[in-house]
Amino acid sequence: MATQQQQPQQAQIQPCRYKTGKTLGAGSYSVVKECVHIETGRYYAAKVINKRLMAGREHMVRNEIAVLKKVSMGHRNILTLVDYFETMNNLYLVTDLALGGELFDRICRKGSYFESDAADLVRATLSAVAYLHDHGIVHRDLKPENLLFRTPEDNADLLIADFGLSRIMDEEQFHVLTTTCGTPGYMAPEIFKKSGHGKPVDIWAIGVITYFLLCGYTPFDRESNLEEMQAILVADYSFTPLEYWRGVSATARDFIRRCLTIEPTARMTAHDALSHAWIAASDTDAQGHEDLLPVVKKNFNARRTLHAAIDTIRAINQLRAGGGAAMMDGALSRDPGKGAPPNDAAGADGSPDRGQPTGRGAGGAGDGGGEPMQIDSRGNGHGQTEEMIREQERRIRETQAGLWAGRR
């Protein structure tokens, strides 16, 4: 009998409780799949993380799990962690399945869009951020791509997702984080300065998001990350051209200014922001009454097309510099969306490599000569006039014609 008790018990193999389905998104070391719980039949999103690809970065996953465990099911606007388990080859984070799509896609599908709608979206985001900050968590990667809707219904909850860059902070400290991280256009000055940062970086990002929601482009948008960083460090932005901001209230602009304050200690807190007149208004007196959808959609689509062209021109110039143009073959792609990297989103908590903007693709452009094409800056953070957009489109068409003429 004693001999039997000394024998080690064999570990029981637990059957997988989920069946995975279609792929919703992919990152450099993970894939997000729709999954169904076999016993209950409920659908979720499973972030499947490859252990081999994550070797040496396991702490990122452990941190993400720790953050989600701390805040899951505590706030209606935060994506819930349902389950976590691992197999021999993979780690699995199972979360709510957000079927309502990304923030800006939802806006573009609307028939109308007013300043009060933008304020509602910012209010929901701020409520969740205040909850995170109250629990000692800084998100560090707030951007429209990380804001998802729970369902396709008009009254669906907006959810903050992707906690891969979040950190649990020591409440006794303010400057606790020094690692440069996030998506450049939404990063606060103190992140670039590496002087230490904390919760105020999330408020800065909300200021950028609010600006974007009201006009369709970001305040520090530039042709290169370096120029973008230089603009952020000195808060070089304005509410121009006037034609795009005429319908936006002074209260909304004041909200943005108080978020985009260079000194972190002078920036609003999440609770301050929730009390701001633009967010807390019980009526629309403090908000504009003009339909912003035509302007927002036009600017968003124009800038997405321009950015894709700039990226293509840059790639072709690099090929020429390296003598690689002769290796190019085939026809000009007519679908700029094809070949674009999948967005690690659609209902999962995401991963830190989700910096690729949606809609980026191969546009096929160059100048047809030996000199790199010079293209206008991306509006210097002041938007683009119709004349600027038409001129850039003309130059891109000429570039395409010159590049591909020799291939016929």
pLDDT digits (tens, 9 = 90+) for 131-148: 999 988 888 889 888 898
Instruction: Specify whether the CB–CB gap between 34 and 24 falls below 8 A.
Output: yes
CA torsion angle 333 336 342 346 (round to 10): -140
Distance of alpha carbon 203 from alpha carbon 215, whole angstroms: 19
* Percent helix / strand / coil, the chain, rounded to 5: 40, 10, 50
What is the spatial distance between Cα 332 and Cα 327, in angstroms, rounded to a whole number?
14
Residue 310, helix vs strand vs coil: helix
pLDDT at 230 over 60: yes
**Mean pLDDT across 1-21:** 62
pLDDT of residue 79: 85
DSSP state of 276: S
Longest dimension (CA), the chain: 91
Which residues are known binding-site members for ATP? 47
How far is residue 26's CA from residue 31's CA, in Å, rounded to a whole number? 4
Q: Which of 72-81, 249-258, 333-342 has the lowest mean pLDDT?
A: 333-342
- Does the pLDDT of residue 229 top 60, yes or no? yes
The whole-chain average pLDDT of the chain stands at 74
The CATH code for residues 18-95 is: 3.30.200.20
The pLDDT score that the predictor gives to residue 218 is 92
Q: Reply yes or no on whether the pLDDT at 354 is more than 60.
A: no
* pLDDT, greater one: 336 or 397: 397
How much of the chain exceeds pLDDT 70, in percent?
63
Instruction: Give the predicted TM-score (pTM) of the model.
Output: 0.69
Query: Could you list the active site residues?
Result: 141
* Cα–Cα distance for residue pair 214/198, rounded to 1 Å: 26
- Bridge partners of residue 31, in order along the sequence: 26, 48
259-296: pLDDT as tens digits? 999 999 999 999 999 999 999 875 555 666 788 888 88
Q: Across residues 303-326, what is the average pLDDT?
A: 62
The answer, yes or no, to whether residue 119 has pLDDT greater than 80, is: yes
Domain 103-280: state its class. Answer: mainly alpha
What does DSSP say about strands 81-86 and 90-95: parallel, antiparallel, or unpaired? antiparallel
Banded pLDDT at 245 (limits 50, 70, 90): very high
Counting runs of H as helices and runs of E as strands, what totals does the chain give? 13, 9
Distance CA 341, CA 227 (A): 24
Domain regions of the chain by residue span:
18-95, 103-280, 297-405
